[in-house]
A = this chain, B = another copy of it.
Amino acid sequence: MDNDTTLSALKEIVKTFCVERDWDQFHNAKDLSIGIITESAELLDHFRFKSSSEIEEMFNDSIKKLKITEELSDVLFFVLRFAQMFDIDLTAELIRKIQINNAKYPIDKCKGSNKKHSEV
């Protein structure tokens, strides 16, 4: 579960799955980025042409919610694989980026506004 699993543990699970299948040969940065964006598109696909009330209904339907969850997980799979292949510490980077953004988009200037938000 998320509350007792580290990023490193998840990376290891993803690595094992890929190494067992001898997939290092396909997992270069360009193709892994393609993996990330095509899975992102499958996630977004669920919501195209849908109104906010229709989307809300989806999340109340456990089967539809599971489908959405699967797509999110597929994006994460390739994010973790990219990080593992290229020795990227996701936690360190996320915290570093949050600190930069805290300075760049101070709370009092951003609160309740989507002006700056698009750039974060």
Contacts and interface: CB of A to CB of B under 8 A. Distances in A.
Contact of A2 (B17, B45, B89, B102): B89
Contact of A114 (B26, B37, B79): B26
Determine the main DSSP class of A at the interface with B. helix
Quick one: which of A17, A72, A86, A98 has the most chain B CB within 10 A? A72
A3 B2 contact: no
A7 B74 CA distance: 16
Contacts of A48: 31, 34-35, 38, 118
Given A2-B91, A10-B91, A35-B48, A17 B101 contact: yes
Nearest to A28: B52
Contacts of A91: 1-2, 5, 10
Contacts of A63: none
Interface of A: 1-8, 10-11, 13-14, 17, 20-23, 25-26, 28-31, 33-38, 40-50, 52, 54-55, 58-59, 65, 68-70, 72-77, 79-80, 82-83, 86, 88-98, 101-102, 105, 107, 110-112, 114, 117-118, 120
